[in-house]
């Protein structure tokens, strides 16, 4: 679960945020001082920092500047209306977003989720892998919601590749997956199975290349090219 560092000197506001974030599945740490937040981030990096602009020691802006010397952690500013935060200033300092008080805790958690989603490319790779669905009992694979019409060998090949994204399989390893004795003739048949698999995938997504060729090594399934 993503860990959120809250830097806010007003306990009532911090409590509201902690409650909202924890109800949403985040873990939280609460600090009241800017310098303490910088030190904390150095020792135990959080995934995102919610940073009040008006803090008792140094300002949230100064805190953010110090953080930026060693960290790219997403920062969301909290600002009181009276502080009249200038959006441009906040963004120039390297903040990712800001919310003006009084705010609704739901708005804050929604923004936190949006920032994390935007900044974590791994999240996208995970959803790309869901483009494929394997039904082992029926020996069927779907791609982008459409059923692929596969031979038994093509199914086994695709299944092996899908089960270990980014792993490069040699032709021999893929032959093992087919349960066929490895000999010279069969190695070439792997290439022809892959060729026909690709043709079937291309009918559904002409511009995608889920099966990657690694010259001299073999093949892999790449979620980011799916």
| Nearer to Ca ion (CB atom), residue 16 or residue 129 | 16
- Burial of residue 10 (CB within 10 Å: 0-12, 13-18, 19+) is middle
Binding residues for Ca ion restricted to 53-92, rule: CB under 5 A: 54
Return d(Cα 197, Cα 189) in angstroms, integer: 12
**Interface pick for Ca ion out of 2, 3, 9, 213 (rule CB under 5 A):** 9
Least distance to Ca ion from the beta carbon of 87, Å? 19
Q: Which two tokens stand for residue 150?
A: 């596969």
7/211 with CB nearer Ca ion: 7
Inter-residue contact 38 to 12 (CB < 8 Å): no
Binding mask 14-53 for Ca ion (x = CB under 5 A): --------------------------------------x-
Neighbouring-strand partners of residue 5: 29, 49
Nearer to Ca ion, 31 or 177 (CB): 31
| CB-count burial class (<10 Å; 0-12, 13-18, 19+) for 214 | exposed
Contacts of 105 (CB under 8 A, 6+ apart): 16, 17, 19, 20
> By Cβ distance, which residue is nearest to Ca ion?
54
The β-bridge partners of 148 are none
Q: Smaller CB distance to Ca ion: residue 9 or 187?
A: 9
The site for Ca ion, by CB under 5 A, has a size of 3
Nearest to Ca ion of 9, 176 (CB atom): 9
Residues forming contacts to Ca ion in the complex (CB under 5 A) are 9, 52, 54
């Amino acid at each position: 679960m993503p860990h959120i560092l809250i830097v806010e000197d007003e306990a009532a506001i911090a409590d509201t945020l902690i409650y909202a974030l924890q109800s949403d599945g985040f873990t939280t740490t609460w600090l009241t001082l800017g310098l303490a937040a910088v030190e904390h981030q150095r020792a135990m990096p959080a995934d995102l920092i919610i940073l009040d602009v008006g803090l008792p020691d140094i300002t949230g802006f100064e805190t953010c500047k110090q953080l930026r010397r060693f960290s790219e952690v997403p920062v969301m500013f909290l600002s009181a209306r009276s502080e009249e935060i200038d959006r441009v200033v906040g963004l120039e300092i390297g903040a990712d977003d800001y919310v003006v008080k009084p705010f609704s805790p739901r708005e804050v958690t929604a923004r936190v989720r949006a920032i994390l989603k935007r900044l974590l490319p791994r999240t996208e790779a995970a959803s790309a892998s869901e483009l494929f669905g394997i039904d082992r009992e029926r020996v069927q694979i779907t791609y982008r919601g459409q059923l692929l019409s596969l031979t038994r060998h093509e199914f086994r090949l695709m299944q092996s590749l899908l089960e270990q994204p980014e792993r490069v399989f040699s032709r021999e390893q893929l032959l093992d997956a087919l349960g066929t004795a490895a000999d010279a003739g069969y190695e070439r048949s792997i290439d022809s199975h892959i060729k026909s698999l690709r043709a079937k995938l291309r009918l559904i997504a002409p511009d995608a290349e889920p099966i990657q060729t690694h010259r001299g090594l073999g093949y892999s399934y790449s979620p980011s090219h799916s």
